[in-house]
C-alpha cells in the first residue's frame, strides 16, 4: 500500500464529457464531467498478490474491459473533478488492500464464569420467590 496520488495519476486515463447539474449555460459548453479509468492488472504499483486481492474485492467496480471506473461530476471545473476522482480511487484501493486483524479465540476466565452462574442463581431464586407468593393468593 505504498502508492501516492501522483503515482496513480501516471497510470490513469481520463475521459471528459458534458455534465448535467448546476452551471447554467456553462454546462452546455464545457466538458467538466470526468470519468477516470484505472487498470489494476497493468499497474506497476502493486505486487501480483495485491493485484489478485484488488481484482477480487473490486469485482463489482470493474467494467467489461477490466478497468476500475470512477466518475465525478460534482464540481463545475474539470480540474476539481479530476482531483476528487483521484481521491476516490485512492480511498477505494486503500480500503480494498486493507487486511483486518485475525481474531484470536480467547477462553472465558473462571471468575467470569462463576460470576455469570451466580447471577443466574440469583435471578432463578428471584423468579422462584415470585411463583410461591403468587400461588398463595
pLDDT digits (tens, 9 = 90+) for 61-76: 888 888 888 888 888 7
> What are the grid coordinates assigned to 39, written together?
487498470
- Banded pLDDT at 117 (limits 50, 70, 90): very high
Whole-structure pTM value: 0.66
- Residues 55-113 pLDDT 10s: 888 888 888 888 888 888 888 788 888 889 999 988 888 888 888 899 999 999 999 99
Cα(110)–Cα(124) distance, integer angstroms: 21
pLDDT of amino acid 23: 62
CB 12 within 8 A of CB 34: no
CB 66 within 8 A of CB 40: yes
Which of the 8 DSSP states describes residue 18? Answer: -
Amino acid at each position: 500500500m505504498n502508492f501516492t496520488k501522483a503515482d496513480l495519476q501516471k497510470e490513469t486515463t481520463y475521459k471528459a464529457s458534458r455534465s448535467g447539474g448546476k452551471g447554467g449555460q456553462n454546462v452546455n459548453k464545457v466538458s467538466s464531467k470526468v470519468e477516470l479509468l484505472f487498470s489494476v492488472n497493468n499497474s506497476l504499483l502493486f505486487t501480483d498478490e495485491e493485484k489478485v486481492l484488488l481484482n477480487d474485492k473490486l469485482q463489482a467496480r470493474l467494467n467489461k474491459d477490466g478497468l476500475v471506473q470512477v466518475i465525478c461530476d460534482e464540481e463545475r471545473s474539470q480540474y476539481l473533478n479530476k482531483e476528487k476522482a483521484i481521491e476516490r480511487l485512492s480511498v477505494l484501493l486503500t480500503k480494498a488492500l486493507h487486511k483486518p486483524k485475525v481474531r484470536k479465540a480467547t477462553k472465558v476466565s473462571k471468575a467470569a464464569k462463576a460470576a455469570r452462574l451466580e447471577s443466574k442463581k440469583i435471578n432463578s431464586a428471584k423468579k422462584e420467590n415470585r411463583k410461591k407468593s403468587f400461588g398463595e393468593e
